[in-house]
Amino acid sequence: MRQPVRKSAVGKLKDKVAIVTGAGGDIGRAISLQFAAEGAAVVCADVDLNTARQTTEQIEKQGGKAAHVECDVTDSNAAKESVSEALRRFGALHILVNNAAHFLRDATLPELDEAEFNRAFAVNVTGAFLMSRWAIPHMVRAGGGSIIHIASQMAHVAREKQATYCATKGAVLLLAKGMALDHAADGIRVNSLSPGGNATQGMAKPVGGTWKQAETGVGAAKATPLVVSAELRKMPMQQCS
């Protein structure tokens, strides 16, 4: 069962503008819906424009403000355009969630080809770099902001046959720490969030394509696509605002 989106009576993100990458996926959609429920205007960015549009429609149906944009985060021009869309539609940018991710099939390094390895780093690491690169100057102009990198439990504890994915998420973890030091004086907070296993469509693909197989694959038979929204609710929203 999907968890309901809980709207704060306070509106902790009122008048804030956020970009969420991978907003058409389950975790990205959960984040986008929760941010909108807290009062943020959300730009839903995804390589799949149709799923980004669906997230936007869900937000608008619940009375929130949103826009959607097609964005391959590995493309610098697409990343820049996503930031520009936030400025065009809502006039500023305060929050960036680097959630877009590429999950690999189970394989040892000799079993992966270079294209698979490079794609994982391009999406998971270079994508976070490109989005942040274009977003930060506008956050500085806005007087500060918040960047949240979605890492993984596998940034902390390795998993068999997922060395490459673990390496990408470990890189994201330290990228966040380094950026936090670099931009504290600009009023920009940079954090990472490391979800555990979630039975999402993205997880389902490399383990067979069904929700049940995804649940088995992540060892989380009771997981839901919106588990991460519960984790976000535990985070003081002032960290995002």
Summarised one tens digit per residue, pLDDT across range 153-188 is 999 999 999 999 999 999 999 999 999 999 999 999
Residues 55-106 pLDDT 10s: 999 999 999 999 999 999 999 999 999 999 999 999 999 999 999 999 999 9
- Does residue 138 surpass a pLDDT of 60? yes
Mean pLDDT for the stretch of residues 126-144: 98
Residues 194-209 pLDDT 10s: 998 665 555 545 555 5
Q: Which of 74, 165, 189, 199 is catalytic?
A: 165
Catalytic residue at 165?
yes
Task: Report residue 225's pLDDT band, with 50, 70 and 90 as the boundaries.
Answer: very low
Q: Where do the domains of the chain lie?
A: 17-199+228-234
- Distances 115 to 70, 112, 118 between C-alpha atoms, Å: 23, 8, 5
Percent above pLDDT 70 for the chain: 77
40 or 6, greater pLDDT: 40
How high is the pLDDT of residue 223? 40
CB distance 36 to 14 below 8 Å: no
In the CATH scheme, what is the homologous superfamily, with its name and number, of domain 17-199+228-234?
A: NAD(P)-binding Rossmann-like Domain (3.40.50.720)
Alpha-helical segments (H) within the chain: 26-37, 49-61, 76-90, 114-121, 127-141, 163-183, 201-204, 211-217, 227-234
- Does residue 233 surpass a pLDDT of 80? no
How high is the pLDDT of residue 196? 83
Mean pLDDT for the stretch of residues 15-40: 97
d(CA 183, CA 188): 6
Task: Report residue 234's pLDDT band, with 50, 70 and 90 as the boundaries.
Answer: low
Count CA within 13 A, CB hemisphere, residue 231. Answer: 18
CB distance 17 to 95 below 8 Å: yes
Q: In a 3-state reduction of DSSP, which class is residue 119?
A: helix
End-to-end, the C-alpha distance of the chain in Å comes to 29
Task: Report residue 226's pLDDT band, with 50, 70 and 90 as the boundaries.
Answer: very low
How high is the pLDDT of residue 228? 46
Residues forming a β-bridge with 44: 20, 68
Q: Is residue 236 classed exposed, middle or buried when 0-12, 13-18 and 19+ CB atoms within 10 A define those classes?
A: exposed
